[in-house]
A and B are shown apart, each in its own frame.
Chain A
Amino acid sequence: MEFFLISSLNGLCYGLLLFMLSSGLTLIFSMMGVLNFAHASFYMLGAYIGYSISQLVGFWAALVVAPLLVGVLGAWFERYCLRRVYKFGHLPELLITFGLSYVILEVVQLVWGRLTLDFAPPLLLQGPAFTLVNHSISGVSLYWGSVAPELCTSLDAALRVVCSPFPATRGFMMLVAITMLASIWLLLKRTRGGLVIQAALTHPDAVQTLGHNVPRVFMLVFGAGAALAGLAGVIGGSTFLTEPAMAATVGSMVFVVVVVGGLGSLSGAFIASLLIGMVQTFAVSLDHSLGSVLASAGLTMAPSWQGSTLARLTIAQLAPMLPYLLLVLILIFRPRGLFGSRD
């Protein structure tokens, strides 16, 4: 029970982090038709810049300043690099962001080194947000913060007590993600600027004719997308790991999300993020293999099969490939993705 709860919260948290990234990616894609290959690199850049700023002035300042810096960098890239290749078509657009992801990865290793950084969250966020205590007699109870160690140990061997803490950083991550999404939604739907952006998504020429500077809107949206990725980076980097490989691990997952959800669909990206977050989290904690499942069902495998990889591999070991398997299956059975409108 408490395993299920904590795992689904963890899955939700990871899913929301993925959505923080995929929302920016989707917004940029639906606006400019550019799939920003370097989006996860902006995420990494956010984590590293956030680390440096938090060393200087503290975490809370980093949470504000680092995304802004990343956003400015993103806007600068759009203005001076990406805009030059629009005229060549979609392929060079993808290629230049691909080149940027290469450069950012190397620059990060150049400036901060190749080792994992010790990017600790502030004291307020260290430790658990709440703890679930599962007592075999009195049932599951919830305690805010951490619990005293004597609550988690039972003197009587017949009693089973399990404590499952939920880290405060993850709670904070969910809070920030939800606030961010709500404010984006409000910005897009309820403000004049949001209306211009929405109009520029579908009818850029008409918006241009009405006197709005559409290239500048593009630049701002690209910068805003990069800033969101940077924000996700500061939180993700302090919660998980801040290392040069973080862009590649999250990046390929985010691409799976946007394709599974349907390219250009924000709600599709949301559902797919949560789906993949859940799948990933639950899969790594399941220790069943084909062999053990068959054995518990009372079936025995042929002796020649028993030691084979197929019988031995557990779901936890298969976890890294599950999102990609999902991607392939979606593309076979529903090629435009879950909520995609265009082929």
Chain B
Amino acid sequence: MSAVTYTGARWGSIWMWLAFALAMLLMPRIFASGLSITLLSQMGIAIIACLSYNILLGQGGMLSFGHAVYTGLGAFVAIHALNAWCVASPAFPVSLVPLVGGVAGMVFAILFGYVTTRKSGTTFAMITLGFAELVFAISLMVPEFFGGEGGVSGNRVVGAPVLGISFGPAVQVYYLIALYTLVCVVLMYAFTQTPLGRLLNAVRDNPERVEFIGYNPQRIRYTAFIIAGFFAGISGGLGALNFEIVNAEVVGAARSATYLLFTFLGGATFFFGPILGGVLMVLAFVMLSELTKAWLLYLGAVFMLMVMFAPGGLASLIVINLRLARHGKLRALLPAYGLLAVSSVMCALGFSALVEMVYHRQLNAAMGPVLRFLGIALDTSTAAHWCGLLTYLFIVVSGFEWSRRRFALQWDMQQKRLEDERLRAAVAP
């Protein structure tokens, strides 16, 4: 029986990989505009970065505040390699530059990881933060390598075109990124299936027991850290090729924090979570930041809610609901879901109206007191609008709390039923 499901599962995953590859192949045909090609390229880069980060966070339980050190240093080495080698010797193809970045990321991970992975848990987090600050401080001091304020720029169109590919058009770079993304995702997935990947999970869950069965948890963490550094460097190298400029910002603490935020939002407990996270990251940076100036506030608030109510991220929400749907339990929840959705959307609208009104007073006061919010004119200078908004907020928040409690009750009931059925099935012959 197990053999049948095993091959079934294997075929299922092969189909999934094919669909993933096909999607990446066809995406530029469906979204052919210049903006969407740029977005897709950045998504590929972000996916590799978030997945490599998740080797630490999700698989190893290591909360790093300095992952941008490895993507960033990889990017710097890659752009120097592009400027030095590709120009000097045409035999060195541009398409291998991200690999140089990967090796650089790995070398720095070998160097720094020796210190950082000596500890786990909270201390590990603090040390990675210290290293991130250290590297950022150095990056401002050594303009020879880091290019100072302007950064280091390069030109990816060097040498004779190979098979007609010059990497001039953005779509050619997209396909290079897509290829790297596919290979890296497959490799990182394969890593989770290796004995080392399994041991890494064990070190996350119970390092003492791992030590008892004869492995050194510190060494396992170190090895995983090096592997994560390699993939981070590849992502940095791809970024260097894509943007053709690298500045000190790429090693900054804000970049590291972004990786953490979006890997977690996507879901650190499932392999595909960080892929969602990477896609979200690009969408948020390009679209959300266009929409509102307060987008980091929304991001932080969503992140806090996620930590409190769904620590498995988006991926876990998807998986739980799929599981309910497969057992036919989702239908009973739909009315409660609908209520919850309506009330939370109304809450979110109220809060964002409040935030936008405050921001308007703060930043756009010169443009007059009236703010257009979703077609409604809100006057930030009259008390009536503020009071009206606060009353609205009070009503919708109460409504939200009521529907949330109702939903939580039904949710627990359905989960319990599912659990009971599972137990009964296990007991029955």
Interface positions of A (Cβ within 8 A of B): 29, 33, 35, 81, 84-85, 88, 90-92, 94-96, 98-100, 102-103, 105-107, 110-113, 248, 252, 255-256, 258-259, 263, 308-309, 313, 317-318, 320-321, 324-325, 327-328, 331-332, 335, 343
Contact = CB atoms under 8 A, between A and B. Distances in A.
Per CB-CB distance, the 7 closest pairs between chain A and chain B, nearest first, are: A102-B300, A106-B297, A324-B134, A321-B137, A99-B304, A103-B300, A99-B303
Nearest to A343: B119
Contacts of B359: 110
Interface stretch (B139-147, B186-194, B396-404): B139-147
Contacts of B358: 110-111
A100 B304 CA distance: 7
A94 B63 contact: yes
A252 B133 contact: yes
Given A81-B308, A98-B260, A328-B131, 16 more contacts: A81-B304, A85-B308, A92-B307, A95-B260, A103-B297, A105-B296, A110-B294, A110-B362, A248-B253, A255-B130, A259-B126, A263-B123, A308-B144, A309-B141, A327-B130, A328-B127
B122 A99 contact: no
Contact of A85 (B121, B134, B307): B307
A328 B115 contact: yes
B311 interface: yes
A320 B142 CA distance: 13
Given A263-B123, A331-B119, A91 B61 contact: yes
A258 B307 contact: no
Nearest to B112: A328
Q: How large is the interface on B (under 10, 10 to 19, 20 to 34, 35 or more residues)?
A: 35 or more
Contact of A328 (B134, B144, B297): B134
Nearest to B298: A106
B102 to A, nearest CB: 24
B134 A321 contact: yes
Grouping DSSP codes into helix (H, G, I), strand (E, B) and loop, the A interface class, with mixed when no group exceeds half, is helix
21 contacts: A95-B260, A96-B304, A100-B304, A102-B296, A103-B297, A103-B300, A106-B294, A106-B297, A110-B362, A248-B253, A258-B126, A259-B130, A309-B144, A318-B141, A321-B138, A324-B134, A327-B127, A331-B118, A332-B115, A335-B118, A343-B119
Contact of B308 (A96, A313, A328): A96
A96 B260 CA distance: 12
B354 to A, nearest CB: 10
B180 interface: no
Nearest to A82: B308
B318 interface: no
A252 B143 CA distance: 24
Contacts of A309: 141-144
B141 A313 contact: yes
Interface in B215-267: 253, 257, 260-261, 264
B123 A88 contact: no
B324 interface: no
Contacts of B294: 106, 110
B141 A321 contact: yes
Interface string B102-135: 0000000000000100110111011101110110
A81 B61 CA distance: 22
Contacts of B96: none
B82 to A, nearest CB: 22
A137 B159 CA distance: 73
Nearest to B299: A102
Contacts of A313: 141
* Residue among B127, B257, B294, B307 with most chain A CB within 10 A: B307
Interface in B312-366: 355, 358-359, 362-363
Contacts of A103: 297, 300-301, 304
B62 to A, nearest CB: 9
Contacts of A113: 362-363
A321 B131 CA distance: 10
Contacts of B309: 84
A29 B301 CA distance: 24
Contacts of B140: 320
A251 to B, nearest CB: 9
A33 B359 CA distance: 36
A259 B123 CA distance: 7
A335 B127 CA distance: 11
A92 B307 CA distance: 6
A88 B115 CA distance: 28
